[in-house]
Chains A and B, each alone.
Chain A
Amino acid sequence: MTSPAASSPPTQDPDPFHNVSPQERAVLDYLRTRGYSAAEKALLASIEAASSEEKEKAETIAAEELVKTLAVFTQDPSRSGTNALKDSSNVLQELNSLGTPANLQNLIASIGNVGAEEILSLDPTDKQEGFRELETWVEGSLDMYRPEFRPILFPIFCHFYLDLIQRGFKDAALRFFREFSPSLAPAHSNTLHHLSTLLLPAHVQSDETAQHLLNEKYMIRMSRSGFSLLVGWLTEGVGGEALGSGLGFSGEKGKRGRAAVMRVVNNHLRFDVTTTKSSAISPSTWEETTGLLSSLIPQPNGSSSATKLFDPRAFNMSKGDLKLGPAPINEELRTETERVLREQAMVERDQSVQYDIALTKPQPLPGQTAPAESDLLPRPPHFKTVDVDREVSAVRDARRQIRLDPSVLNNVDPNSPQASAVRARALPSICAYTLHDVVEGAPCCTFSKDTSLMAVGFAESYIRLWSLKGEKLRGMRSDFSASQIRDPPSLRRVKEKKGSTTRKLIGHSGPVYSVAFDPVSGSAAPPKHLLSASADGTARLWSLDTMTNVVAFRGHENPIWDVKWSPMGIYFATASRDRTARLWSTDRINCLRIYAGHLGDVDCLQFHPNSLYLATGSSDWTARLWDVQRGSCVRVFIGHQGGISSMAISPDGRYLASAGEDLTINLWDIGSGKRIKKMTGHSASVYSLAFSQESSLLVSGGADWTVRCWDVKGAGGPKARENGATDSGIVQKYGEENNNETADLVATFPTKRTPIINVQFTPRNLCLVGGVYQAPETR
Chain B
Amino acid sequence: MNNVKRKPTTTTHTGVYKAESIKDVAESLGIGISDPVATALASDVEYRIHQVVEEAAKFMRHGRRTTMTTADIDHALRVLNIEPLYGHTPHNPPSFRRAPPFMTHPSSMNPANQNSASSTVYFVEDEELDFDRVLREEKIALPKGVSWTAHWLAVEGVQPLIPENPPAIPRDTGEAHLEAPSMNGTTAIPMTTVHGSGLFAQPSGGLVSTITSASTVGAAGTANAMVKKSTPTSAPPQSQNLVKQVLSRELQLYYSRLTGSLLPPSTSDWTKRSAALASLRNDAGLQALLPYLIRWVGEGVVGALKEGAQSENDGKILEVLMDVISAILENQTLFVEPYLHQLLPPLLSTLLHSSLPPTHSTQLRISASQTLSRLLTTHSTTYPSLSPRIMKTLLLALISPSKSKGSREGAVWGLVGVGKEAVRKGVVEGGGARVLGDEYAPKEGEQEDGLVKAVVSALRVLHPRSETDMNDGLDPDIPSDKQVIEQLEEVLGEYFASKVLGEGDAAWARAILGKEEDV
Contact = CB atoms under 8 A, between A and B. Distances in A.
B236 A645 contact: no
B40 interface: yes
A429 interface: yes
B3 to A, nearest CB: 7
A645 B79 CA distance: 20
B151 interface: yes
Contacts of A7: none
A203 interface: yes
A233 interface: no
Given A170-B43, A703-B186, A705-B178, A459 B151 contact: no
Interface stretch (B53-61, B218-226, B484-492): B53-61
Given A199-B14, A203-B47, A707 B153 contact: yes
A755 interface: yes
Looking at A426, A603, A685, A747, the one whose CB has the most chain B CB atoms below 10 A away is A685
B3 A171 contact: yes
Interface string B8-28: 100111110000000000000
Nearest to A200: B43
B75 interface: yes
Contact of B157 (A423, A535, A645): A423
A423 to B, nearest CB: 4
B140 to A, nearest CB: 14
Interface in A732-752: 734-735, 737-738, 747-752
B229 to A, nearest CB: 15
B12 A750 contact: no
Given A424-B156, A642-B191, A703 B46 contact: no
A197 B182 contact: no
Contacts of A645: 61
Nearest to A771: B64
B195 A193 contact: yes
Interface string B156-188: 111100001110000000110111011000111
B463 interface: no
A163 to B, nearest CB: 17
Interface string B118-135: 000000000000000000
A734 B62 CA distance: 23
B146 interface: yes
Contacts of A705: 178, 181
Interface in A510-542: 510-511, 513, 535
Interface residues on A, range: 35 or more
A181 B155 CA distance: 47
B292 interface: no
B75 A535 contact: yes
A441 B63 contact: yes
A685 B154 contact: no
Contact of A755 (B4, B64, B156): B64
Contact of B66 (A426, A684, A752): A684
A779 interface: yes
Given A177-B12, A181-B11, A434-B164, A750 B178 contact: yes
A256 to B, nearest CB: 25
A654 B165 CA distance: 34
Contact of A703 (B43, B66, B143, B237): B66
A178 B157 contact: no
B306 interface: no
A619 B188 CA distance: 17
B234 interface: yes
B71 to A, nearest CB: 7
B102 interface: no
Nearest to A436: B147
Contacts of B43: 170, 199-200
29 contacts: A171-B4, A181-B11, A197-B50, A197-B54, A199-B44, A199-B46, A200-B47, A423-B156, A424-B156, A430-B152, A434-B164, A435-B147, A437-B146, A441-B64, A444-B64, A459-B63, A510-B75, A558-B79, A559-B75, A559-B79, A642-B191, A643-B61, A683-B181, A684-B66, A703-B186, A709-B157, A734-B188, A751-B153, A772-B64
Interface of A: 170-171, 174, 177-178, 181-182, 185-186, 189-190, 192-194, 196-200, 202-203, 420, 423-424, 426-444, 454, 456, 458-459, 464, 466, 468, 510-511, 513, 535, 558-559, 561, 577, 601, 603, 619, 642-643, 645, 661-663, 683-685, 687, 703-707, 709, 734-735, 737-738, 747-753, 755, 757, 767, 769, 772, 776-779
Interface of B: 3-4, 6-8, 11-15, 40, 43-44, 46-47, 50-51, 54, 58-59, 61-67, 69, 71, 75, 79, 90, 93, 143-159, 164-166, 174-175, 177-179, 181-182, 186-192, 195, 234, 236-237, 240
Given A433-B150, A441-B64, A779-B90, 19 more contacts: A196-B13, A199-B47, A423-B157, A427-B154, A427-B158, A432-B150, A432-B153, A454-B148, A468-B150, A511-B71, A535-B59, A558-B79, A642-B190, A661-B191, A703-B186, A749-B159, A755-B66, A777-B236, A779-B234
